[in-house]
Structure 1
Amino acid sequence: MNAVHAKDWAQGNRLRLLENGEAFFPRVFEVIRAARREVLLETFILFDDKVGQELREVLIDAAGRGVQVQVTVDGYGSPDLSAEFIGGMTAAGVRFRVFDPAPKLMGLRTNVFRRMHRKLVVVDGEVAFVGGINFSVEHLWEFGPAAKQDYAVEVQGPVVADIHRFASEALPEPRSRWWRRRVSIGTQRAAASGGARALFVTRDNQDHRTDIEQHYLFAIRAAQRRIIIANAYFFPGYRLLRELRRAAQRGVQVDLIMQGEPDMPIAQHAARTLYERLLRDGVRIYEYCQRPLHGKVAVVDEEWSTVGSSNLDPLSLWLNLEANLVIRDADFTAHLAQRLQALIDRHCRQFTAEDVVPCSRWHLMASSVVYHFLRRFPSWSGWLPAHAPKVQLVSPPTSAEQQGGASTVHESPQSTVTKGAG
């Protein structure tokens, strides 16, 4: 089940937009260093680089002073972590899990579908981070032209209890009475610390397959003045495209920020197959050209916004496990809109009808086939291997292995289908 239902909007939250790794990593590490009881962390990508090493150090330090540290990474997104890298954490007491680990076949990763794509951090049940930023140096300017542009939100207040409850219940292990009591205590809603209303929304493959998409649809249908969507991989279904076109037709200013320097060229090609129809209906399209866009954020009018891990493509909308924070707050929404407008003004190229290359009849037919294939691919993917991923707990190294510098990762015999991964 999802953490909350739509009726459970939490009032009284304090929010802070964190743009790129320069803002995100120092703040997350600062909060973990101050942790007293518990750290829950989920990420799609954790690399053994400058950022990953610092995260590893702060987690080991937290575990060493008695903090309960739970980490889950995705087996596809984080495939090459060494036994030494993980073993240093598990030896210190960190509970380290891998979502759907799978051996490579001829050097290629085979566990492609139904990824654990969430990026969540919850500390002491009091502070949470939700967004699209992974733990990798790729999110820092120093990485160079391929550094990613992305966003996360730090939140304090009552909605943190909902995020904490979800992250706790997602851990696939038996719950003792003590654990259930601790989770219950830790997830009591905190007193209001700000003025923002917020709702934690997730997507899974069981009960909440379309929740994130539905919140986009509700907001777009209600839009009266302006919509800004910045999304790295934009290839939504017919309903979302239809509502964006209808919004533009009724006079709403609809601005889409897409990738102009894509990390995956096929994603840009797929998005561009949609441009002609969107432009014809009055949607304004911008391509961000300074570096790869990795953001998954949106603003509607003066109050509604969202920050999270969900792209608007078939993988995120119909296959992956995702998490977004949906926000109703004028100050936060205005700030996010201002940052997105700065992106448009300084680093985007507007794509107009004149830029659309006239397509032959054959090209139009081919584009239509590609579109409908990608639209229906999620329902077909259930026939493919690894459609029910599992989460495996990595065992701490034995004393002999620690002395000998073991290079193998020991997995617990416990292996449970994760919540929502069907």
Structure 2
Amino acid sequence: MDEPIVVGIDIGTTKVCTLVARVEGERGLRILGVGIEPSQGIRKGTIVDLGAATQSIARSVEKAQRTSGLEITSALVSLAGSHVSSVNSRGVVGVSGRMIDQDDVERALEAAQAVAIPHNREIIHVIQRGFVVDGQDGIRMPVGMHGFRLEMEAHIITAAATTVENLRQSVQAAGVEATQFVLNPLASAEVVLSETERQMGAVVCDIGGGTTDLAIYIDGDVWHTMVIAVGGNHVTSDIAHGLRLPMDQAEEIKKQYGYALEREVAADDTFTMRPFGEEQAEIVSRKDLAHIIEARVEEIFDLVLQEIKRSGYDGMLPAGMVLTGGMSNLPGIRTLASEVLGLPVRIAKPDNLVGLVDQLHSPAYSTSVGLLYWALMMSETMPVSPRGRRPRGGGNVNWEIIKNFLKRMLP
């Protein structure tokens, strides 16, 4: 097996999904192993019970190892939660010679990272937004240009150090080394966002069980990221309270009969259920269920709209929103999102997959598959062997790939 193997572990509030894939040809992936396990000990993207979370991760990894026939030693791991925050920064350096070289770019990157980060926070991503050479902005890659003053605009994403360490500890206890943490919407964007949408201006909205994750892309780069601690589990909780049901039954009813727009449900459309304390099943109108769901989903998109406006980029998104994540399977959600946000909205899921992909053709697995593409970018800059270890010996460095990777620079 000459092709490198890439592994991603998506640790969400509702599920842990481990994927193993083999790199084939130009950015082609064949899914070799899939391990999907219900999450335990995780709430709103944050670990609340270390032992339970470790068991869920270990079971997911074990399933992926069994289906792929490969031992998993290291993986990229997804990250979400309201503890994630971001800031835009600018680094300025003088050019050492008349011509800008790679050292100047790296010094500008270091200068951009020299922002006041509290001791209890950890830098997760430093993403290049663009360069300015002697006052001329909009430059994508300045290496080889003449200039005296180089500025780099960077988007810095940080997370609570203790939360990241707990996640790292859980993954290590499951026998896997977390080589890099990747923010959920950035991973999802690798799968669901087209190059045109990246350039024009679009927002990726990944609505999972515990969080709603946002990433705004303009001119091909990330300009703003945010995690909102509201998700599909809040809708389930509303149904459980409103109809007096256990959470697991409310989740099933949401999936089977849920609708995001009350006005589009027929008045005579009903279903049966058995609430707490009742011996006989009751008939419930789907319109009443849609009323409960619509109120919460509308609130989620109101919070998304507030965040987009707070970023200051609300007038720069002609490509609108790309909606993904498990909640985007809810019928009627695209129409409601478009009405609340006043933007074009489309729902996206992973496609062009080969291998063990039966379960993966769903928006719920956008982050999981996106982690593999992120790992693929990392493997292009730093080749790995099938066991996830770097090969010994030298080799020619592909500087073109390094330059492209700088666009998504990781610390």
TM-score (norm 1): 0.26
**Quick check: which one's strand share is greater?**
2
Structure number with bigger Rg: 2
